[in-house]
């Protein structure tokens, strides 16, 4: 059976670089750093002092107050970004098509803030004072659930939880739903609100977070002086659509999604497999799925977390897959500006990849001042670059050994 072609027709985000796609993209191209001093929790309690927070988000701009109060912050982000993406796609959802439009949005840790606050209530005041909305606010699938309720999308409905690979896995899985004919459009991506007391405690305890107190320089992927990632929050949502469905309604097409790869390291719960072999297999699977030759790749939005092993092993994985062409393609880590949005990272980075194709400009890796000799590729250091981008790849790697890659191509009729 011939695979149905799938295109991107809508984009939406709430990110540390802006409350919409336009602002987020412009700030990324200008090398603006969205990392600031930590305020959502007491910085005195942690060795990590900075985070990529969203400080001006008002859920009531998108959601009625009574409904917003029944949602954790990660779900509010997802609903807001999904509303923007569907509006951008000019996609009308009604009884004539609702059953063919689905939602697949993931979250790495779900409603952590709700869990912490309600557990404190339980300890101090007993179970009767715990909110009846505690469970539906906390569980990771509630972003998908609330988006489908808000928009009336009744089609394929699911949620991925694969740690930091969540957003990319969600997009890849939603792509396959449309490709095999089970939906005509999918609202997909990731959402996360992890800047909470216990999340910060856990990541500080396992020494994953940077302890650099300077917000402007703390996230420095591929730099020799990197010392950990920066916690970020937000959502990145895209609308995927079957090509003929998009054409028939005159939709704007940003790019075509052509490949998806997903693998497991089967190695360690937090450390990537040596040499990034699992990530390499995901990249190889994605380009094979898209029928793409390695030398055709123009740009890779790297996972690029600013941790010692990730940056080194992802670089090794790229070399394994692309050989000599590795030194000719552009690689950048937008986490240098956005921080690491955990389960939402892949959603936001898919948006960056699509816009790089549409605009033929690549966002930079900022703070790359002292390159690590083990990281010797072209990381588009410190300044955006105008160049033709026909094919772009986005990588995400997660705790548990999850690796996910999606590939986008400039849309050609």
Catalytic residues: 164
Among candidate residues 347, 385, 312, the one with its CA nearest the CA of residue 240: 347
Q: How big is the chain, counted in residues?
A: 413
Residue 284: how many other CB atoms lie within 10 Å: 18
Q: Which two tokens stand for residue 131?
A: 């909110």
Q: Which two tokens stand for residue 252?
A: 């704007």
Q: How far is CA 203 from the centre of its chain?
A: 19
Among candidate residues 115, 166, 344, the one with its CA nearest the CA of residue 158: 166
Q: Return d(Cα 10, Cα 12) in angstroms, integer.
A: 7
3-state secondary structure the chain: CCCCCEEEEEEEEEECCECCHHHHHHHHHCCCCCCEECCCCCHHHCCCCEEECCCCCCHHHCCCHHHHCCCCHHHHHHHHHHHHHHHHHCCCCCCCCHHHEEEEEECCCCCHHHHHHHHHHHHHHCHHHCCCCHHHHHCCCHHHHHHHHHHCCCCCEECCCCHHHHHHHHHHHHHHHHHCCCCCEEEEEEEECCCCHHHHHHHHHCCCECCCCCCCCCCCCCECCCCCECEECEEEEEEEEEHHHHHHCCCCCCEEEEEEEEEECCCCCCCCCHHHHHHHHHHHHHHHHCCCCHHHCCEEECCCCCCHHHHHHHHHHHHHHHHHHHHCCEEECCHHHHCECHHHHHHHHHHHHHHHHHHCEECCECCCCCECCCCCCECCECCCEECCCCEEEEEEEECCCEEEEEEEECCCC
Q: Could you tell me if residue 382 is left (phi over 0), alpha (psi between -120 and 50 degrees) or otherwise beta? A: left
Dihedral sign computed on CA atoms, order 288, 290, 293, 296: negative
């Amino acid at each position: 059976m011939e695979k149905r072609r799938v295109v991107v027709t809508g984009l939406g985000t709430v990110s540390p670089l802006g409350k919409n796609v336009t602002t987020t993209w412009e700030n990324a191209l200008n090398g603006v750093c969205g990392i600031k001093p930590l305020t959502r929790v007491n910085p005195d309690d942690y060795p990590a002092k900075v985070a990529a927070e969203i400080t001006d988000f008002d859920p009531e701009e998108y959601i009625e107050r009574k409904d917003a109060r029944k949602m954790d912050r990660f779900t509010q982000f997802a609903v807001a970004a999904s509303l923007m993406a569907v509006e951008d796609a000019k996609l009308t959802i009604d009884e004539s098509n609702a059953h063919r439009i689905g939602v697949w949005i993931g979250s790495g840790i779900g409603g952590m803030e709700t869990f912490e606050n309600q557990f404190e209530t339980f300890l101090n005041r007993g179970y009767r004072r715990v909110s009846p909305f505690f469970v539906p606010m906390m569980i990771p699938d509630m972003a998908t659930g609330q988006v489908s309720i808000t928009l009336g999308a009744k089609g394929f409905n699911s949620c991925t939880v694969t740690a930091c690979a969540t957003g990319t896995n969600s997009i890849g899985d939603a792509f396959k739903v449309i490709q095999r004919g089970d939906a005509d459009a999918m609202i997909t991506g990731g959402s996360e609100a992890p800047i909470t007391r216990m999340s910060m405690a856990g990541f500080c305890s396992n020494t994953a977070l940077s302890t650099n107190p300077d917000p402007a320089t703390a996230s420095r992927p591929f730099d020799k002086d990197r010392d950990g990632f920066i916690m970020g929050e937000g959502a990145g949502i895209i609308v995927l659509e079957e090509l003929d469905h998009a054409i028939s309604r005159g939709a704007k097409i940003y790019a075509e999604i052509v490949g998806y790869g997903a693998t497991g390291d089967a190695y360690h719960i937090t450390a990537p497999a040596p040499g990034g072999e699992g990530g390499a297999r995901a990249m190889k699977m994605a380009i094979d799925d898209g029928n793409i030759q390695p030398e055709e790749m123009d740009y890779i939005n790297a996972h690029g977390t600013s941790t010692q092993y990730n940056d080194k092993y992802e670089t090794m994985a790229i070399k394994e897959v692309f050989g000599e062409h590795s030194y000719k393609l552009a690689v950048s880590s937008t986490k240098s500006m956005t921080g690491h949005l955990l389960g939402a990272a892949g959603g936001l980075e898919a948006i960056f990849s699509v816009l790089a194709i549409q605009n033929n400009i690549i966002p930079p890796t900022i703070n790359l001042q002292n390159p690590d000799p083990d990281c010797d590729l072209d990381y588009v250091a410190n300044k955006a670059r105008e160049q033709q981008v026909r094919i772009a790849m986005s990588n995400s790697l997660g705790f548990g050994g999850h690796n996910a890659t999606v590939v986008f191509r400039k849309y050609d009729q």
